[in-house]
Amino acid sequence: MPDITPAEPAPPQTIFEAVGGAPAVEAVVDLFYDRVLADPALAGYFEGRDMARLKRHQRLFVGQALGSREPYPGRTMERAHSGLAITGEAFDLVVGHLAAALAEAGVDGPTIGTIAETLLPLKPDIVTA
């Protein structure tokens, strides 16, 4: 007689998995930094920075924010941004560039909204001016 015991339901898919996992996050981070570095209001924040290292940390951070199981080993947002004199306007521009990069990568509007809701509470830790 066949086993008719119901299978365990699959765990809900994380946003990280829904957008395509690590390859998709890497593409979004690349698009994001292309936009940020081309923005005259933001480019100065990144002068002299090791962009390869920054992108690597950003991929891990964004991945974790989206539900990746890979831990983010970096500093807290407050420590990472202390002394950079980041304004509220700069923060808002960065969020806008991230949303645009996500959209360009094919992420739907409701998912972008959910991602923004995850990141916006970090504003007090990042804005230092």
CATH code, domain with 93? 1.10.490.10
Counted domains in the chain: 1
Contact in structure between 66 and 15 (CB atoms under 8 Å): yes
Provide the domain limits for residue 23. 18-43+50-126
Contact in structure between 103 and 113 (CB atoms under 8 Å): no
Indicate whether 69 belongs to any domain: yes
Q: If you average pLDDT over residues 57-82, what whole number do you get?
A: 90
Indicate whether 9 belongs to any domain: no
Indicate whether 7 belongs to any domain: no
Indicate whether 61 belongs to any domain: yes
Better-predicted residue by pLDDT, 22 or 8: 22
Indicate whether 4 belongs to any domain: no
Contact in structure between 14 and 66 (CB atoms under 8 Å): yes
Q: What is the pTM of this model?
A: 0.86
What residue spans of 2-129 are helical by DSSP H?
Answer: 15-19, 21-38, 51-65, 77-81, 88-104, 109-119, 123-126
